[in-house]
Copies of this chain bind each other. A is one copy, B any other.
Amino acid sequence: MAKKKIVIIGGGFAGVFAAKELRRKMGKDADIELINKDNYFVFQPLLPEVAGGGINSSDAITSLRLLLKNIQVRLAEVIDVNFDEKVITVLQGTKRMPVEVSYDQLVLAMGQTADLSRFPGMTEHALTMKYMGDAFTLRNHVIRCLEHADVAQVPEIKKRLLTFLVVGAGFSGVETVGEVKHLIDKSLKFFPNISPDEINVKLIEFADRILLELPASLGEYAQKQLEKHNIEVLTGVGVNSATGTSAELSTGEIIQTKTVVATIGTGPNPLVEKLGLEMQWGKIKVDRCMRVPGKEDVWALGDAALIPLSDTPTERHDFAPPTAQFAVREGKQLGLNIRRVLNGWELKEFAYVSQGSMASLGASKAVAEVNGIKLKGFMAWVLWRSFYLSFLPGFVTKMRVFLNWTLHSFVPRNISLIEPPTKAATKYVHFRKGDVVFDRGMIADGFYTVIEGGFELDFKDAETGKHIHREYGPGQHFGERIILGRDKRTGKVKATEDSVCLWVARDDFKRFAKGFPMLDEYFKGYIAEKFGEEAARPKKD
């Protein structure tokens, strides 16, 4: 048999286990390459604990190069696949010059992405829990809220900072809300100006109970545990929309909060959409052997694929569920099937029955159902952790993680904000009718262009003392006087209806306007016309 090149796109459970099985079974008969956008594997079920600061990020990830010995790992972004030529186009390094990688057999295992587009403002303002960066961001965000609340002077701002909303009560949502609450509880002693009864943590779920994946009795136990820790659980309630300072529930209630974590809504990976393969429910259709119909040499598995578990599948439960447990089994069997096809043997259909499920609840508690046996509390939590350790490569790494976990339970939570706040230079910002965009005396932090909706400006001319009122609609803009070095806002801008703006950060906007003469002239003319010649004169910055 000639040496074959097998390329796997995606380094999650499915891709990693397929690669390992192929390496084990194919020996030197194949070159195996795994392409992933990160150079590490994330043990995704541990993300909520990273977000809660219960473990270090380095104890929830493993380097792909360490995990996949004798497999070429390529840190790159796949931008296209040519199925006829059997060539993948990737961007690597500085991501400027496209590079081509050819294959004999291709495995698509790139998973799904978060998709919140059904809920206005959620894409822009909600936090998600899908990647390591999300867990990092959430942890830092919660700590930043506590830091700010500790020195906040306005009661409404303090309340908003101390209200945390988690949307969706599946495994991810339940674990996230538990860990976030635990982080806050363990950290409050360091924030002398925040009292425990000012903390408001809510979990909302559209279904009529939490943890639908588990038996009702375990769901009830989990809900009681969360409530015991003062987490408010609302079932039969969804979210309608979000802004930077609030969320609207399906009941019409508006909750003032800086923190909305969405664990709902997934959609296909943008690359998958581009490939032109047959899709259903946002996933790639495959046969029972995980082969893409009509393509001899292309396979799909994991969350990216819809794998039938029977010959006449119709309902959701006739297909493999998107869990780590199934992804591991799929990966192993896919590896065997590729060996079978290369050897001319008959393929085997994927068949697997779940061994059970587990969810961590924070504070060293969990619920589990394993082979029909229900477990809850500390023992379930120990089982949950052991499962992860068994997965780690090498005894020393297992020991390191185990010791770190143990040490972590003795020391205070690390509340160091080790990441700078995200500094997006341009972003879309949603406002509700009546929301104040900025007020007199505020630092001029950016420039706004109206995309949708409307705003009104009120200010008093410093020279004449005259009150000025202006309105802005789509395509119009405000806040441009910062390019002249005005440090503080001189007027107040309010949304007159639900609206969306494009915001450009102060420094980026100034740099752009200064470097680009045509823009500089436009704004000088605009300001002189609207605010008078005096306003257009530059102020020392």
**Complex Cα distance A143/B93, Å?**
11
A92-B518 in contact (CB<8A) = no
Task: Kindly identify, within residues 52 to 75 of chain A, every residue whose CB is under 8 Å from any CB belonging to chain B.
Answer: 56-58, 61-63, 65-66, 72-75
**Complex Cα distance A178/B163, Å?**
47
A58-B418 in contact (CB<8A) = yes
**Complex Cα distance A65/B414, Å?**
10
**Complex Cα distance A477/B475, Å?**
24
Tell yes or no: A457 within 8 A of B by CB: no
Smallest Cβ distance from A64 to chain B, in angstroms? 8
**Contact of A400 (CB < 8 Å), options: B151, B407, B518:** B407
Residues of B within 8 A of A62 (CB): 416
Known: A97-B442, A417-B38. A511 touches B502 (CB 8 A): yes
Residues of B within 8 A of A97 (CB): 439, 441-443
Interface-located stretch among A305-313, A327-335, A419-427: A419-427
Task: Kindly identify, within residues 376 to 428 of chain A, every residue whose CB is under 8 Å from any CB belonging to chain B.
Answer: 394, 396-397, 399-400, 403-404, 407-408, 410-412, 414-418, 420, 424-426, 428
**Contact of A515 (CB < 8 Å), options: B56, B150, B449, B516:** B449
How many copies are assembled?
2
Query: A69 — nearest CB in chain B belongs to which residue?
Result: B190
Known: A416-B63, A425-B505. A151 touches B92 (CB 8 A): yes
Tell yes or no: A39 within 8 A of B by CB: yes
Known: A95-B445, A415-B39, A425-B505. A151 touches B74 (CB 8 A): yes
Chain A 463-489 near chain B by CB (<8 Å), digits 1 or 0: 000000000000101000000000010
Chain A 424-459 near chain B by CB (<8 Å), digits 1 or 0: 111010000000001101110100010100000000
Query: Chain A at the B interface: mostly helix, strand, loop or mixed?
Result: mixed
Query: A53 — nearest CB in chain B belongs to which residue?
Result: B58
Tell yes or no: A76 within 8 A of B by CB: yes
A63-B415 in contact (CB<8A) = yes
Tell yes or no: A519 within 8 A of B by CB: yes
Residues of B within 8 A of A150 (CB): 73
Tell yes or no: A236 within 8 A of B by CB: no
Residues of B within 8 A of A418 (CB): 40, 57-58, 61, 132, 136
**Complex Cα distance A507/B95, Å?**
14
Known: A40-B416, A151-B92, A512-B502. A66 touches B190 (CB 8 A): yes
Residues of B within 8 A of A512 (CB): 426, 502, 504, 512
Query: A408 — nearest CB in chain B belongs to which residue?
Result: B400
Smallest Cβ distance from A518 to chain B, in angstroms? 6
Residues of B within 8 A of A63 (CB): 190, 412, 414-416
**Complex Cα distance A488/B191, Å?**
52
**Contact of A519 (CB < 8 Å), options: B144, B443, B505, B519:** B519
**What is the number of residues of chain A that contact chain B, defined by CB distance less than 8 Å?**
87
Known: A98-B443, A451-B515. A147 touches B75 (CB 8 A): yes
Known: A58-B56, A396-B411, A426-B511. A98 touches B65 (CB 8 A): no
B66-A445 in contact (CB<8A) = no
Known: A63-B190, A404-B404, A442-B97. A39 touches B151 (CB 8 A): no
Smallest Cβ distance from A34 to chain B, in angstroms? 12
Query: A38 — nearest CB in chain B belongs to which residue?
Result: B417
**Contact of A92 (CB < 8 Å), options: B92, B148, B399:** B148
Residues of B within 8 A of A403 (CB): 403, 407
**Contact of A39 (CB < 8 Å), options: B72, B416, B443, B502:** B416
Chain A 189-214 near chain B by CB (<8 Å), digits 1 or 0: 01110000000000000000000000
Tell yes or no: A280 within 8 A of B by CB: no
Known: A40-B416, A58-B418. A425 touches B508 (CB 8 A): yes
**Complex Cα distance A404/B406, Å?**
12
Query: A191 — nearest CB in chain B belongs to which residue?
Result: B65
Residues of B within 8 A of A507 (CB): 426
Smallest Cβ distance from A451 to chain B, in angstroms? 6
Tell yes or no: A522 within 8 A of B by CB: yes
A61-B416 in contact (CB<8A) = yes
Task: Kindly identify, within residues 124 to 142 of chain A, every residue whose CB is under 8 Å from any CB belonging to chain B.
Answer: 132-133, 136
Residues of B within 8 A of A190 (CB): 63, 65-66
Residues of B within 8 A of A439 (CB): 97
B407-A96 in contact (CB<8A) = no
Tell yes or no: A27 within 8 A of B by CB: no
**Complex Cα distance A96/B522, Å?**
27
29 CB < 8 A contacts A-B: A38-B417, A39-B147, A39-B415, A39-B417, A58-B414, A58-B416, A63-B190, A66-B412, A74-B151, A75-B147, A75-B417, A76-B151, A92-B148, A93-B151, A93-B157, A96-B445, A97-B439, A97-B443, A98-B488, A394-B411, A400-B407, A400-B408, A404-B404, A425-B425, A426-B507, A426-B508, A504-B508, A512-B512, A518-B522
Q: Which 6 A-B residue pairings sit nearest by Cβ, starting from the closest? A: A425-B425, A502-B515, A40-B416, A93-B148, A65-B190, A75-B147
